């Protein structure tokens, strides 16, 4: 069984005039990210894969700190920055088979596209700060197929 927890970065700020990859979290993002990190229970991942954009990396750091995970678990990769669902699926297909569970911090629309590709079902927009858990009934990442994943759950920050 292979499991992927998809995590969309928390709400980002548009008030700074910077290139997209340098946009930070906004006040709501800084409020929601630690709350979402605190509510996550269960097994720790074998690896944390993360787009290196500031907003995505910042979100991931709340999870690492909350669960007291070593920074060595975190792998930043520009291939995840605004990747399409198809590109994300190809990325998963190349993962190390010794890893059973990974967390992937990324962006929309790619995360939405990946969920729809993986499960074969349409999903509502994955809002900023949300988590989506997918599970595949396979032993090797290379055996992942479109429409094969089971959607375990979606958690989103509470609107305030």
**Domain-embedded: residue 98:** yes
| pLDDT at residue 42, as a whole number | 87
Partner residues linked to 101 by β-bridges:
3
| pLDDT at residue 48, as a whole number | 98
The DSSP element (H or E) to which 51 belongs, if any, is: none
CB 2 within 8 A of CB 144: yes
**Domain-embedded: residue 113:** yes
| pLDDT at residue 160, as a whole number | 52
Domain count, the chain: 1
CATH of the domain at 15: 3.40.50.1240
| pLDDT at residue 18, as a whole number | 81
The whole-model pTM stands at 0.95
**Domain-embedded: residue 46:** yes
Mean pLDDT per block of 10 residues along the chain (160 residues) reads 97 86 93 95 94 97 95 97 97 98 98 98 95 98 98 88
**Domain-embedded: residue 107:** yes
User: Which structural domain range is residue 48 located in?
Assistant: 2-155
C-alpha–C-alpha distance, residues 110 and 149, integer Å? 16
**Domain-embedded: residue 32:** yes
**Domain-embedded: residue 74:** yes
| pLDDT at residue 108, as a whole number | 97
| pLDDT at residue 109, as a whole number | 97
**Domain-embedded: residue 160:** no
Find the DSSP H helices in 40-156. Answer: 54-66, 85-93, 110-119
Give me 40's structure tokens: 């996550």
**Domain-embedded: residue 127:** yes
């Amino acid at each position: 069984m292979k499991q992927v927890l998809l995590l969309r970065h928390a709400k980002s700020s548009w008030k700074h005039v910077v290139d997209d990859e340098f946009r930070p979290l906004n006040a709501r993002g800084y409020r929601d990210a630690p709350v979402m990190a605190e509510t996550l229970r269960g097994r720790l991942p074998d690896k944390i894969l993360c787009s290196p954009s500031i907003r995505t990396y910042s979100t991931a750091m709340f999870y690492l700190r909350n669960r007291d995970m070593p920074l060595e678990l975190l792998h930043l990769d520009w291939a995840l920055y605004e990747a399409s669902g198809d590109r994300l699926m190809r990325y998963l297909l190349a993962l190390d088979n010794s890893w059973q569970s990974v967390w992937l911090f990324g962006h929309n629309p790619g995360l939405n596209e990946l969920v729809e590709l993986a499960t074969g079902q349409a999903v509502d927009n994955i809002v900023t700060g949300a988590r989506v858990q997918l599970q595949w009934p396979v032993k090797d990442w290379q055996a992942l197929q479109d429409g094969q994943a089971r959607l375990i759950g979606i958690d989103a920050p509470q609107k305030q």
